Chain A
């Protein structure tokens, strides 16, 4: 894959190239909208599911916030007054976004299967294949009209979204880590690999909510064992450079998404926010502080808007959710203060991201390649399209 061996400098070149001659492309657009669909299909990649991940995370956050709670602190009671309709709107919005993305991605699988295969072989792209499953699971859990215990359909959906895709991907990817020649963990490890761990943990949480303790523990242990290995590997940073272009720096936030998710999953399994969950929550909080203290790390990626920015939102939502559970368990002012801060931060970030995306959507429709993974994965085509001003691509 040419994209993989491309030097970062070249990548930057491609990414930073501005959307060229929107005028010319606009003419084309007027002429054939099917070309546009085709463009979208070629440009879309699993990384776009970050959007649905974030929205799903926010939906789950607000559902838990509104839900029944033992927390008698005034802060929580105030937030309880959040209007139910607003939450339903949020959930529907997330649902439609996810449906749209899923449909488009399905079309891409059907029409441009080769590109999907390329993604699968890429060390960053492959982890985002977990993202659709995770998003569906999050939406399932946050659905306003579903209660896990009663509905048989909940079980069916859980199996469809959780067991099949996640387990299959697990077996493939985790097996590769220690068996396959070029795909050893030490060679491919990067912060997005934590998405596979998060997938297992979300599956565990959903299972535990259904009452399926054993499956929950199974998924949890699978996720945690690989998280341990991955955590050590990522910390050691053996390969020297990160193998991650600086535009993808926002995915560093996944460092604290995994322990937060683990803490929530363990809470669902154990029934209460016990010491293990607290340990995981504190670890996640520490990693969050570490990252927030280093804003220069993200400076480069913040220069241009890209879909990678959506990677900021989901971890923050999960951390806020974990802090909410923590504050409920350990009643006190400081935990509630932390909860409020994290909540505010995550909501603020999500709103900003939505605004930025809407502002940029015009450019998004017209530009050829403006997000890092797409150019990372199909750099040649991108560049060619750029040159030829051809919106339509055929595989």
Chain B
């Protein structure tokens, strides 16, 4: 019954207005389909609560949808309101903006708030804000508290707060991401899917700020390490590179890390829900390892003029949260049900594994013995598993891109860092290190000769993360050529360093172009805004 009404409403609406069907309606029909019982524990949502999808589906099927169409100018205010996710506040704000029979709209609705009708014209600005409330921490209550503290008075009534529900506290099933998104970084929305946030407006900056921004820090900090090695390694001393380059790059990295971390921390504080959704994204979750890797690189690349030896406690401080994170993620691979490795394996998982080797490298260079071996062991075991899984390209694995993509460069990262770590642990660049180094070299070349295929991809900030394997390979080559000095090895290390630097420069230029000229460095982050219900296929 609801279906039919929805169908009716949609047809009506389509005829009523030229505007595209608001996302809301599509979402509403999807509410009929209870697909994931993991998502909605039917919480004891009171009637005013917006968290309960079914209530809304019923209300939405009201023939008031033509009004929805008419008010499509306020776009997706509707969807916000009725979305099962609990965008509650919007209902209060959309009403006034709608031209006329808002009354119809909410007749059958279990009224979330009586304030809907009584709303004076709220300004459009607040209207916009409310749409993103469900993504905010505690659905906007924190923000309100903060702004209240600052002295700004909110005109919204308290009733909005009651109906605020946090979007699914329960885990977002990974299948949802696979079904809704596609592409090598799982960024592009499939044609049949809709998102819960308005597509045509630019979202708040924080919502558009993905965790893959830490990739920039990765790229730059690994460059700092590379230039330090260039200046200090015995095999490249003939180049007479000064340590100033390392110093400059290091300070730039520090600044970048500070900037990116503070922005992302703000996002964590204000938009916790968006951060959660990134955590459940099968590709983005690996970037949660990136901050720790960056800090480790910074410690590795510290210029001698700043500090010659670092305190050992620093290593423990850096590796402890890393240990907890990997206990969680690796455990999911092995013991979890929906996030098991055969299903979610993708090249970005290398970021989860390479951190072990970077930590081992740092610890061994600080003089520790047992801790580095611990992380090396863990990294080696899990790298073996990951390597085999990715090379198998299992048919059950949906995330592997069919074509080459810069993400494949991450394959080179783990063996190159592992070879350096093992060299530091053993004290010299022995057979184990050489074996892993040659593996890294082979992978690098097999990708480099296919560089023609790396075309036609949309630039994203995550590409910075893919430069650090090239840099690591260059550093490993320098270490190797220090052990086995010959013209060939020295040439190789110089060439690799040059390639790495050129790539980073090209990326820098592209980033600047996107940031200031094209102004689309931070597009709407579709990947986190997918709905938790598959939309019902419409006869459109």
Let me know if A140 is at the binding interface, CB within 8 A: no
Residues of B near A291 (CB, < 8 A) are 335
Q: Pick the interface stretch among B239-247, B286-294, B374-382.
A: B374-382
Contact with A along B371-390 (1 / 0, CB 8 A): 00110111011101100110
Measured CA separation A240–B343 after assembly (Å): 9
- A237 near B377 (CB under 8 angstroms)? no
Measured CA separation A280–B330 after assembly (Å): 17
- A235 near B370 (CB under 8 angstroms)? no
- A289 near B327 (CB under 8 angstroms)? yes
What's the minimum C-beta distance from A16 to chain B, rounded to whole angstroms? 22
What's the minimum C-beta distance from B377 to chain A, rounded to whole angstroms? 4
Say yes or no: A297-B373 contact (C-beta < 8 A), given A235-B385, A289-B327: no
- A286 near B374 (CB under 8 angstroms)? yes
Contact of A236 among B376, B380, B389 (CB under 8 A): B389
Contact with A along B324-359 (1 / 0, CB 8 A): 000100110111000011100100000000000000
- A238 near B342 (CB under 8 angstroms)? yes
Let me know if B512 is at the binding interface, CB within 8 A: no
Residues of B near A255 (CB, < 8 A) are 334
Interface range, B side: 20 to 34
Residues of A near B377 (CB, < 8 A) are 278-283, 286
Give the A interface residue count (CB, 8 A).
Answer: 28
Let me know if B146 is at the binding interface, CB within 8 A: no
Residues of B near A283 (CB, < 8 A) are 377-378, 381
Q: Total contacts A to B, CB within 8 angstroms?
A: 72
Residues of B near A238 (CB, < 8 A) are 342, 394, 396
**B381: nearest chain-A partner, CB-CB:** A283
Residues of A near B330 (CB, < 8 A) are 290
- B334 near A234 (CB under 8 angstroms)? yes
- A231 near B385 (CB under 8 angstroms)? yes
Residues of A near B341 (CB, < 8 A) are 235-237
Residues of B near A252 (CB, < 8 A) are 335
Contact with B along A323-367 (1 / 0, CB 8 A): 000000010000100000000000000000000000000000000
- B340 near A236 (CB under 8 angstroms)? yes
Measured CA separation A232–B334 after assembly (Å): 10
Residues of B near A232 (CB, < 8 A) are 384-385, 388-389
Residues of B near A330 (CB, < 8 A) are 369-370
- B374 near A282 (CB under 8 angstroms)? yes
Q: Which of B421-456 contact A (CB under 8 A)?
A: 425-426
Q: Which of A243-300 contact B (CB under 8 A)?
A: 252, 255, 275, 278-283, 285-286, 289-291, 293-294, 297
Measured CA separation A48–B260 after assembly (Å): 57
Chain A residues near B (Cβ < 8 Å): 228, 231-232, 234-238, 240, 252, 255, 275, 278-283, 285-286, 289-291, 293-294, 297, 330, 335
Complex A-B, nearest 6 residue pairs according to Cβ-Cβ distance, in ascending order: A282-B377, A279-B377, A236-B342, A282-B374, A237-B340, A235-B385
| Other 12 A-B pairs with CB < 8 A, given A290-B334, A335-B370 | A232-B388, A234-B334, A235-B334, A235-B385, A236-B388, A236-B389, A237-B334, A278-B377, A282-B374, A290-B331, A290-B335, A293-B327
